[in-house]
Structure formats: C-alpha cells, structure tokens
Amino acid sequence: MSAHALVAENVSRRFGVGRTEVTAVRDVSLKVDKGEIVLIMGPSGSGKTTLLLMLGALLRPSSGSIWVDGAETSSLKEQDLPEIRLKHFGFIFQDFNLLSALSVRENVEVVLNLAGVKGRSARDRAEALLTDLDLGGRLDFQPSQLSGGEKQRVAIARALANDPAVVLADEPTANLDSHIGQEVMRLLRKIAREQGRSVIIVSHDERIKDIADRVLWLEDGMFKSMSERAFDPVCGMSVNQADAVSAEYEGATNYFCARGCRDEFLAEPERFTRSSATPGPD
C-alpha cells in the first residue's frame, strides 16, 4: 500500500433503505500514486461528490475499504475521522469557503491551530504558505477584499497548511474566469509535481484534463472507460457509445443522447459539425 497515497477497494455507498434505497457509488476501486493528479469527471448525479466525500473521510462507505497513507479510514469510528481529515487531507472547494470574519492569515492559521500548531509557529507557517502563493501583501485582508483567484489561492494555502498527503478539490475552477482558472490549475500541478502530494479533482472543466495524469469517468456510480464515450454534438452531453443513438455523417459516426438530438442533427448537420469545440445549437 505504501506506493499509493490513497487506495479505495470495492467502495459502495447506498442511501435510504428498502424501496427508497439509492446506490450513489457502486463497487468503485481506485489507487492514487503519490504526486499523481487524478481528474474525476462525470455527469451531474453520477456519484462524483459522494465518492469524493468517502475518499476524504467525510462519509463512511456502506461497503469496501479506503486507505490513506497506509491507514484504513473506512473502519475508523466517527469521532476519529476529523483528525484524519486534518492531518491527511487538504480540501479545496468550488466556493472557496473562507471564513468571512477572519483575515487571510487567520484563515490558514486556524487550520494549523486545529492540528495543535499554535502561536508564532502557526503564524509563521501561515505567512510562509501565503507568501509562496503571492499573497504576502494580502495577509491582513478580509476575504471580502479579495478577488476570486486570490480567494482560491488562500484556500489552497489552507489546504496545504497541515502538510497533507492528498489534496481533494471540488470544482476548483468553476467560479473563476479562464485566466485565473489556468493559474489555479498551474498551482495544483505544482503541488503534485514539486511537493509530491496526490491531487484528486472532481470537475466538469475539460481544461483540467491538460494537467491530469489520469482522467476517470464516473457514471451511475461506476467508473467507465473514457474511450467508450463520445459527446453528443447537439447538446454536448457525454454518452456511452454502446447505449447511444447514432448516425453516420460524411463517413463518421456521431452519437446522441436521444432521438431528438439525432433528428435535430440530421436536419442540419453542417451546423453541428462546423466546430467540434462548441457543441450545441447556439
């Protein structure tokens, strides 16, 4: 296990019981190497967030096992999980989730305090992390005084405060413009390459594929092969080629989520094949 920062074996998570039971994640296995960036993509409701929660010791799996840094988290009691999250994981959120009443420095310092680092040590460590991320001039600012990119950099500094083995990022670029998003991606890559931390990203952002070592597609609670998937040229939805409605055009096979999209495509195929980068009618 030691070669991997994080291992999940046959992990499932069910919600509800009896007729209302829903399986959000089913029998998923995953091994993430140290310093590896893994991007998990998938449609809404596919179980991405549930999987992220289980990997981050925020939710216990219904079955299966999860190890982080060689320690099994899935068998721990509820009261032991906060310490696992504090010491082994760094979290980056879509909405940044900075504490609004605290300054930039204090937002990082408080996580160190939680881990038992206090006083000058915590302050120095927080300042060093923030300075590394070009926020040395913003230490005493309030979150409300920062731009989106700066907020996300504070969140990254906070995620790194306790020197975690794994950084979990939930849509880290979703609320940022493309330039700032690129900057955040660069930082995530740096975290993995230079610091040897594993980075697991859940996102819909296709650009993150560029920095990912591995891209996983989660659908219906299961990982599916990316090679078997195609994008509907009409609505842009990712579809499984084996299950999708298809149509030939100029010697190529196009896959659709439903007959409606196929009919729309066939009525005006040039409109949808002019630019593959911008699917959709408008």
The residues of the shown chain that bind another protein, judged by CB under 8 A, are 49, 52-53, 56, 58-59, 79, 82-87, 89, 91, 93, 95, 97, 99-102, 106, 109-111, 113-115, 118-119, 122, 158, 162, 170
Q: Which is nearer to another protein, 68 or 234 (CB)?
A: 68
Q: What are the percentages of helix, strand and coil residues in the chain, rounded to 5?
A: 40, 25, 35
What counts of helices (H) and strands (E) characterise the chain? 8, 14
Check: CB of residue 39 under 8 Å from CB of residue 199.
no
Check: CB of residue 124 under 8 Å from CB of residue 105.
no
Q: Which is nearer to another protein, 23 or 113 (CB)?
A: 113
Least CB distance to another protein at residue 78 (A): 10
Q: Which is nearer to another protein, 93 or 249 (CB)?
A: 93
How far are the Cα atoms of 18, 40, 241 from residue 68, in angstroms, in the given order?
32, 18, 35
Q: Determine the Cα–Cα distance for residues 111 and 115; give it in Å rounded to an integer.
A: 7
CA nearest to 188, candidates 171, 204, 209, 167 = 167
Least CB distance to another protein at residue 118 (A): 5
- In this structure, the strands spanning 229-231 and 238-240 are antiparallel
Least CB distance to another protein at residue 58 (A): 5
Q: Which is nearer to another protein, 69 or 109 (CB)?
A: 109
Least CB distance to another protein at residue 263 (A): 36
Q: Which is nearer to another protein, 216 or 257 (CB)?
A: 216
Least CB distance to another protein at residue 184 (A): 18
